[in-house]
Every structure is written in structure tokens, then in C-alpha cells.
Chain A
Amino acid sequence: MKSRSLNRNARKNFLTYGLVIAAYAVLQTITVTGSISSSLKGMLVPICAYVVMAVSLNLTVGVLGELSLGHAGFMSVGAFTGVTAAMALQNAVPYPALRLLIGMVVGSIFAAIAGVLIGIPVLRLKGDYLAIVTLAFGEIIKSIVNNLYVGVDEHGLQLSLLTNKLALAEGGKIIINGPMGITTIEKLSTFTAGFLLVMLTLFIVFNLVNSRSGRAIMAIRDNRIAAESVGVNVVKYRLMAFVTSAALAGAAGTLFAMNYSTIIANKFDFNTSILVLVFVVLGGLGNMLGSIIAAAALTVLPEMLRSLQDYRMLIYAIILILVMIVTNNPLLRGYIDRLFGNLRRKKAPVQAQEGGDGHA
């Protein structure tokens, strides 16, 4: 039974990689041949960033089983530190791709540090209390970045909080300008960079989930006390999942920010955290492929509804509610399963103990 389920996992992971590669190949082909619409082309990088956000949040919510309402906070940390690094190195590092890479690494390191700082206290809490603290964390980050001024000149980086007290030398430039955020970002992000980040994220997450550590994390999710009693170091494994998730979100933040010429702190607010959470829940907890599809579909959806004009967001809300009801109502689910489910009748029904309901 165990080996079969492992096989199935491996098959599913390969399917996920395969689909991502196929999607990349198709989109890249139509981009190169020029038949892609500007609208879709403009969404490729944000889709990649949201996919990474969704997969990394799924690690916290689906695999670790804790509700986080502040994932955008890590994205923010990653975006602002990563872009700052890339911009500060503009003269020192001549290769744009390398600058982007450095930005992402720096972004994920800082997000990971934030993850540790917030994770140590937060992970002592449970359920909605943990959720509210992550929400609080996201708001604190937003509040601080809105009051942060960072500039660079030949002496290096300068920081100032609350008001702009930077005394930059001749030729220096301001990078983060309080509420105006960063306004002169070089657009370094490319679809290929986004694709590579998605692949790396999947690689990290799948390997973590399928490792000894991953099984420990899921054991903690399913029954913390039982896991503890067999000697699993709860704090260590929970922190491991949480920090990995934060670091990936940081890299996604840098990718996202460097796709636009401007970024402000208010972009990464509670609503963005919720948006990513919607991707995760819609795609299925613990289901990475689901997260990818949901993130892509829901990023594209509002754009497709543009022809509805004023009613766009209203219809979006209705679709969201209907999808949640249809996919979660037992009656309707049973009906859909009958429609599609003939081939799966033989499968064990409670396999993986309803992996999705970690936070029930």
C-alpha cells in the first residue's frame, strides 16, 4: 500500500512538472511567433509569481496545516529587498539576468529571515490565533515599508525611517521612497525566469514533502501530539515548512516587482494574501498542481471578464462562490463524481486521510 501511494505521488509530481513544461513550451512558442495577445503576454510573469506564491502558501496551509493570512508580507519583503539589491548593483553587475538572480536570492534570504523572526513566536499558536498573527505581521510589514526610505550612493546603502532624512552624495539615487515605493525599477523579469522559478519551487516543495522531514511535517499536521510522542521535533519541522514557504514567497516577490516599473507597499496587503489563499483552497490543499491551475486561471479570469465592464468583479465574486459550493457540497460533489468518476471507482476512497482538511 505504501509503495503504491509513493508511486502515485511520484507519478503525480512528474505530471505536474510535465504540464508546467508543456505550458511553458506552448506559451513561449506563440510568444516567439508573435501570435500572443498583449494582454496574455503581459500576464505571463505575474502568473508565474502567483503560482510560486500559491505553491509556497500551500506548503504552509496544505502540508503544514496552518492558516496564514499574511503571505503577501513575505512577498513584500522579498520584493523590496530584492529590487533594492538589484538596483544597488546596477553598475557593479553588468548582466541583467545575473542581477535578477541576485535580487531573487537576496529577496528570498530576507523573506526567510522574516519567516524565522515571525515563525518562532507564531508557531507556538494554533488555528485562528496563528492566522490572526500572520495577518498582523503582514500589516506591520506594510506599515513599515510605507515609512521606509532607502537610497544608494558611492558610500553604499542608506536607510531612514518615517521621513526622508537621506543625505545622498552627488550621483546617489533614492530607491525606496516611502509611500511612493520604488518607481524606477528596471524591468528585468522574463517569462523564462518565471518559469525557472516555478520549476525550482516545485522541485523544492516536492522534495521536501516526499522526504523524511515532509512526512514529519504531515504527521504534525494530522496529529501533533501523536507526532510529538514518537519523538518528532515539532518546532523544528514546523519552522522548516514555514521558512521554506516564506523564502519562496520572497523570490516570487522579487520576480513580481521586477516585472513592473513601479511597486508600492500597499500592493502587498491583506487582500493580496487572501487572493493567494483563494488559489490554494480552490486548487485543493496539499495539491500543488491544483494550486498552479487555480493561480493561473484566477489571474486570467478577471481579464477575461473585461467585456462585462461594470459587472466584472460582481461576476467574479459569484463565480468564486459557486465554484466553492460546487466543489465542496457533498450532494453536488457526488453528482460530479458520478459524471466523471467512473474510472476512479476502484480507488480507495479515504486515501491520504482527506489530505486537504488539515485546518478543519
Chain B
Amino acid sequence: MKHTARKMLTFVMALTLLVSLCSVFALADDGAFKVGGTGPLTGGAAIYGNAAMNGAQIAVDEINAEGGIQFELKYEDDSHDAEKAVNAYNALKDWGMQISLGSVTSAPANATSAENFADHIFALTPSASAPTVIDGKDNVFQMCFLDYPTQGGASAQYISSMGLAEKVGIIWKNDEDYSTGLRNSFVDKAAELDLEIVAESTFAAGNDTDFTVQLTEMQNAGADLVFLPMYYQPASLILSQAAAMGYEPKWFGVDGMDGILTMEGFDPALAEGVMLLTPFNADSDDPATVAFVEKYQQLYDEIPNQFAADAYDCIYAYKQALEAAEATPDMTAEELNDLMIEQFTTMTFDGLTGTGMTWDETGAVSKGAHGCVIENGAYVGLD
């Protein structure tokens, strides 16, 4: 029985951990609302989860310091995976979560929002933008705007009405719902507006390094504007490879592009003239944004992206809603759930990522998207 030792060991290991876990449960602090969220704190998407967590933490610290309403924030890692997100959500439930920040990214949020709905725990996700996250769930709300109907279409509308391009090319990531959704709504709207799409090309996780073929296709099709519905990491590769090829179309990005200028080592000249729609820009001179960016830089040594700003807004939106509803921390999650649904569908909120935000019954937010162009390494508003 050569496996005995091995088996024993596994067993002992599991038991020790089981015991150690039982002693870890934190004691409840009665005076604070327990807010929980899941996000990718490790793995390839970790930057988004950590940004959201940090942004929310800053808001919580500010609010707690004021001495009024108190929050206790806990983020659990979901590694951008639905299975782990549900585990993380359950861990938060065990912790005593009363209101939730849902999940940071869309695929895990699809899974956790179903749990939120089943458990009657209210969720306001900072950044999970897929329509399926809120679809059919009365207690799941979004802080970011819905990608597909709003942003992709708005981009096409913008390009068409500004007469930015005759021939449009699209490069999208075909194994990611964010990118695919934006592309679909862009294409639909473009067809409506008679905007000519001359080339489309895709990439996927695992072959997202070399873009020669995609760029050559754009170039050969004569695209004078290329729409990039994707996050900034692949976008930065596309920009640098296009520059290396000597291909210089107009570039049009989406909110996920925000962050490109703050990448360490990125040459802002590559992003010169890139246009994007974004609800938040870190270079704004709005005093609240300036204060937030300063604080974030001080604490985390980097410039916050829109995930951080969205999460920051979520906490303040909660503060406003909880105060308006005169909620107290001893209420159950279910009681808070009903109060929050009532508040969020009726209130108007001003935050870093927009002013005069309102939510409809589906949970979608309505706020303006600003067209921006990158000039000399900074965002400049387009009108």
C-alpha cells in the first residue's frame, strides 16, 4: 500500500486547515453596514479587481472618517471565474454581507448576480457591464453603463454624425463577452446608419500578442478608422504594432481603453489621437476627481482607472441611498434589499463617473458618456 502515506498526509492537511479555518471567522461589528464584493484580485484580470477594491476602500475610509454612517468593506478574490466567484460570494455570505458590490467583471457577475437575486441580497456592481448581469433580476444594479446597447451604438453614432470616417475597420476579441457585445451593437448601429465596415478581424486569449495579420487586413481594406472594443492591454499592443508597420488610421476606443496612458513605460505618442467614450477620466479638473486621484496615488502609487472610480461611486451611492432610506446596520440583508430597490429606482446621484445618474427598474444606469481624444498624453473632451 504505497499510497498510504500520501493519503494520510492529504487527510491531515485537510483537517488542519479545516480547524484553522473555523477559528478565523471575524466577529461582527454592529455599527457598520457590511458591504461585500468579488473581483479578480489574482490572475490575468487582477488589475480590474484590485482597482475596484482600492477605489471602494477609499470611499469607505472617507465616509467612516466623517463619523456618520459606517461601512465595513470586504473584497474576495474570484480570479475572473464564475465558479470561484460563487465560492467568494458564499464566503461573503458567511461573513455576514448585508449589501453587495456584485462582481467586478462580467462573466463572474453573471453567476453571482443570480445568487444575489435568489438570496435577496441587493447588488450594485461597479463595472460588470453585460446586459445579462441585470437581466430579469430586480435587485441587481449597475454603476457602469450597459455596454452593448449604449456604448457600441453610441460609438457608431458618434463616428457617423461627426463624419470621422468613410471606411471603418473593427478588431475585437472573440472569446470575451465585453468585446463581442460591443462589436455586435456597433455593427448593428452602423448598418442602420449606413456606416461602411470594410474589415473585421478578431483575436482571442492565447493568441493576443501578434496582430500583424489583423492590422494588415485593416490596412489592405483601406480602413481609415479602426474601432477597438477591448481593454487597454491588447489595445496598447495593437497601437505599437501598427506604429511599427507604419499604419496610421484614426483609432476609436471604448471605456475599457481608459488606463492606457497610465501603463508604466507606455509611450503616449502611440496613443496620440485615439478617441474613446468614457465616463471617467483621471485628468479631469473636477475637484472631487482631483482629490480622489491624489488620494489613490498616495495610497497605491498609481493613477486610478474607471474601475476604481466606479467602485468609489458605488459606495457613495450606497451612502446616499441608505441615508435616504434611514436604514440601520442591524437590518437584515433582505430588509435592506427592498429599501435599496426602492431608493435606487427613484434617486438621482452625482459621482465621479457622471452627474445626474438615475437607474430604471431593470437596474441599468443612465449617465452621459463623454467623447475624449488623447492629445499630448492627456484626455481632451470632444464635443
Check A-B contact in the complex, CB < 8 A: yes
A306-B13 contact in complex given A38-B94, A183-B110, A284-B7, C-beta closer than 8 Å: no
A178-B180 contact in complex given A39-B87, A301-B14, A337-B5, C-beta closer than 8 Å: yes
Question: Can you list, as one digit per residue, whether each of A140-166 has a CB less than 8 Å from chain B (1) or not (0)?
Answer: 000100110000000000000000100
* Residues of B with C-beta under 8 A to A302: 84
Are B90 and A293 touching (Cβ within 8 A)?
Answer: no
* Residues of B with C-beta under 8 A to A327: 5-6, 9
Binds A, one of B170-178, B350-358, B359-367: B170-178
Q: Give the distance to chain A from B355, nearest Cβ to Cβ, in Å.
A: 32
Are B205 and A336 touching (Cβ within 8 A)?
Answer: no
Instruction: Report the separation of the CA atoms of residues A187 and B6 in the bound assembly, to the nearest whole angstrom.
Output: 36
Q: Give the distance to chain B from A177, nearest Cβ to Cβ, in Å.
A: 8
Question: Can you list, as one digit per residue, whether each of B1-40 has a CB less than 8 Å from chain A (1) or not (0)?
Answer: 1111111111101100110110010000000000000000
* Residues of A with C-beta under 8 A to B3: 283-284, 287, 290, 356
* B41 close to A (CB within 8 Å): yes
Are A180 and B10 touching (Cβ within 8 A)?
Answer: no
Are A294 and B83 touching (Cβ within 8 A)?
Answer: no
* Residues of B with C-beta under 8 A to A294: 10
Are A336 and B87 touching (Cβ within 8 A)?
Answer: no
Are B5 and A180 touching (Cβ within 8 A)?
Answer: no
Are A43 and B87 touching (Cβ within 8 A)?
Answer: yes
* Residues of A with C-beta under 8 A to B7: 283-284, 287, 289-290, 293
A180-B177 contact in complex given A313-B42, A340-B5, C-beta closer than 8 Å: yes
Are B111 and A261 touching (Cβ within 8 A)?
Answer: yes
- Within A227-262, the residues touching B (CB, 8 Å) are 256, 260-262
Q: Which of B8, B11, B82, B180 contacts A262 (CB 8 A)?
A: B82
Q: Which residue of B lies closest to A308 (CB)?
A: B24
Question: Can you list, as one digit per residue, whether each of B127-166 has a CB less than 8 Å from chain A (1) or not (0)?
Answer: 0001010000000000000000000000000000000000
* B77 close to A (CB within 8 Å): yes
Q: Give the distance to chain B from A184, nearest Cβ to Cβ, in Å.
A: 7
Binds B, one of A110-118, A201-209, A215-223, A263-271: A263-271
Q: Which of B5, B9, B20, B176 has the most CB of A within 10 A?
A: B5
Are B4 and A265 touching (Cβ within 8 A)?
Answer: no
Q: Which of A267, A287, A312 contacts B77 (CB 8 A)?
A: A312
Q: Which of B2, B3, B88 has the most CB of A within 10 A?
A: B2
* A89 close to B (CB within 8 Å): no
Question: Can you list, as one digit per residue, whether each of A285-302 has a CB less than 8 Å from chain B (1) or not (0)?
Answer: 001011001101100111
Question: Can you list, as one digit per residue, whether each of A313-353 has a CB less than 8 Å from chain B (1) or not (0)?
Answer: 10000010001001100000100110011001001000100
Interface residues on A, range: 35 or more
* A310 close to B (CB within 8 Å): yes
Are A282 and B111 touching (Cβ within 8 A)?
Answer: no
Instruction: Report the separation of the CA atoms of residues A265 and B205 in the bound assembly, to the nearest whole angstrom.
Output: 12
* Residues of B with C-beta under 8 A to A266: 175, 205
Are A282 and B41 touching (Cβ within 8 A)?
Answer: no
Q: Which of A146, A164, A260 contacts B175 (CB 8 A)?
A: A146
* Residues of B with C-beta under 8 A to A287: 3, 7
Q: Which of B11, B17, B76, B130 contacts A301 (CB 8 A)?
A: B17
Are B6 and A282 touching (Cβ within 8 A)?
Answer: yes
Q: Give the distance to chain A from B364, nearest Cβ to Cβ, in Å.
A: 16
Q: Give the distance to chain A from B54, nearest Cβ to Cβ, in Å.
A: 13
Instruction: Report the separation of the CA atoms of residues A266 and B4 in the bound assembly, to the nearest whole angstrom.
Output: 36
Are B77 and A164 touching (Cβ within 8 A)?
Answer: no
Are B90 and A41 touching (Cβ within 8 A)?
Answer: yes
* B204 close to A (CB within 8 Å): yes
* B196 close to A (CB within 8 Å): no
A42-B8 contact in complex given A179-B176, A267-B81, C-beta closer than 8 Å: no
* B93 close to A (CB within 8 Å): yes
Question: Can you list, as one digit per residue, whether each of B89-115 has a CB less than 8 Å from chain A (1) or not (0)?
Answer: 111011000000000000100110011
Q: Which of B6, B10, B81, B107 has the most CB of A within 10 A?
A: B6
Are B13 and A319 touching (Cβ within 8 A)?
Answer: yes
Are B174 and A146 touching (Cβ within 8 A)?
Answer: yes
* A304 close to B (CB within 8 Å): yes
Q: Which residue of A lies closest to B91 (CB)?
A: A39
Are A184 and B76 touching (Cβ within 8 A)?
Answer: no
Are B132 and A180 touching (Cβ within 8 A)?
Answer: yes
* Residues of B with C-beta under 8 A to A337: 4-5
Q: Which of A179, A260, A310, A323 contacts B13 (CB 8 A)?
A: A323
* B184 close to A (CB within 8 Å): yes
* B234 close to A (CB within 8 Å): no
* B181 close to A (CB within 8 Å): yes
Are A37 and B94 touching (Cβ within 8 A)?
Answer: yes
Are B9 and A336 touching (Cβ within 8 A)?
Answer: yes
* Residues of B with C-beta under 8 A to A309: 41, 77
* B317 close to A (CB within 8 Å): no
Are B90 and A304 touching (Cβ within 8 A)?
Answer: no
* A354 close to B (CB within 8 Å): yes
A304-B21 contact in complex given A183-B110, A267-B83, A312-B77, C-beta closer than 8 Å: yes
Are B1 and A344 touching (Cβ within 8 A)?
Answer: yes
Q: Which residue of B lies closest to A261 (CB)?
A: B114
Q: Which of B6, B9, B86 contacts A260 (CB 8 A)?
A: B86
* Residues of B with C-beta under 8 A to A164: 184
Question: Can you list, as one digit per residue, whether each of A8-44 has a CB less than 8 Å from chain B (1) or not (0)?
Answer: 0000000000000000000000000000011101110
* A73 close to B (CB within 8 Å): no
Apart from A294-B10, A337-B4, 13 more pairs, CB < 8 Å:
A180-B132, A180-B180, A260-B82, A260-B86, A262-B107, A262-B132, A266-B205, A284-B2, A309-B41, A340-B4, A341-B5, A347-B1, A356-B2
Interchain residue pairs A-B with the least CB separation, the first 8: A261-B114, A284-B3, A262-B110, A42-B90, A180-B177, A297-B14, A38-B90, A327-B6
Can you give 25 contacting A-B residue pairs, CB < 8 Å?
A38-B94, A39-B93, A43-B87, A43-B90, A146-B175, A164-B184, A180-B130, A180-B177, A180-B181, A260-B82, A260-B83, A261-B111, A262-B111, A264-B107, A266-B205, A290-B10, A293-B7, A296-B14, A297-B11, A297-B13, A304-B17, A306-B77, A312-B77, A313-B42, A347-B1
